[in-house]
Structure 1
Amino acid sequence: MNHRNIEDKRHLRSLKTRIKLLEAAREVFLQEGFQKATISQMINKASIGYGTAYVHFGGKEDLLIVLMEGVMEQFFEIAEISFLPKSKQEAEEIIRKQANDFLKMAEAERDMMQVFEQAIGVSSLVSDKWKAIREKFIQRISTDVAYAQQNGLARSEVNHEIVARGWFFTNEMYLWEIVRDEHHSSVEEIARTIASVYVTGLYL
């Protein structure tokens, strides 16, 4: 067996171990919540050695951050939808659909998002990661607002980054309400209302 094959097999084994550990971590986090969950429980559930586990992750925060990235990537795919409206009406349709899909995703991922919320409140590492994720969304929205301004669809005198920040924070506030099951209206009604107010304020 040549050196390359040995490397490939080692890499595959390493990847399998990582996936196994992440799956175990997800189960433990959902069962115990962030604060009570321990990396020992995850290692035992994954049936791997301690040394092996620490090669991949420094602790439970690292594991949660990777899980958070995976979940939030699904949200980001919604934000990444092509945004090239030709009219205010078309812009509102896209924005409403994005807001609706974003909040529906919060509903679908409620259990894991509850763990993320706990972790954001007690871990500066996880909190910093959330801030970085938030900025990624804001930058993407900012690009869409700038596009609308450049094409004469949106008010040009407003700062597109501030607009983007405000729009994301509105969505984020409702996201956490849905995660906590504290929302008083349907997801569709929330999305329709906030998109309508946003578009009315920004678009010409």
Structure 2
Amino acid sequence: MLKKPFTSRSVRDRFDLLITRYAANDRRNQKKSGTEEEYSERDQLPQDILCLIDGTSYKIKRSRKDGGSASRKDLAAASQPMNNTAARKKTAATRDLYMERYAAYRDTPPESAGIDLDMAGKRKSDQNTDYDFMLKRMRHEMIMKEKECEVELRRLAFEESKLQWEKELKIMEHEERILGRRERAEEKEERRHRAEEQRRADARDNALIQLVQSLTAKIN
């Protein structure tokens, strides 16, 4: 578990420290033996990085917390340029090797490319299947909605027709009631008129009878 915060400054300091120590040891070994050593896989990466740094303007800085005399000596040794022809050739060869590796990595598809294509095709097929299913479902829902709307329109038309019929029925009943009252009134008036005529006829008859009786009494 790291106790220091992970920042770009801390990464640079750590990188400079590792390269400084490795470069110092490498320079000392070359001075002692006079020939280039064979590097293990673990040492090859810092060696390649060091070769690349030698061909650039990058300056290795000493960490503020690493101020011992041994570190200053390492920094001085690491800062010495690789001025021999073999070192310069190695730097160029290292760059060319990295360029070749990068080109080969870029042009070579990963082993999982075929699997990824198959998975992409399967996902596309699944998406098409899902799309077709959703399309059919939407069409079915639209058809059902249209049928529901048609049924609702028919129900509303029936309700409107029913209300119109009930309205007409009430009008007819009202007219019948009015007509009935009128007819009954006319019948009542007719009966009253007949009764009045009968009363008058009876009165005339009575008057005539009394007149005849009076004349008969006078003659006798």
Say which one has the larger Rg.
Answer: 2
- The alignment's TM-score, normalised by the length of structure 2, stands at 0.25
Bigger relative CO (Cα 8 Å, ≥ 6 apart): 1
- The alignment's TM-score, normalised by the length of structure 1, stands at 0.27
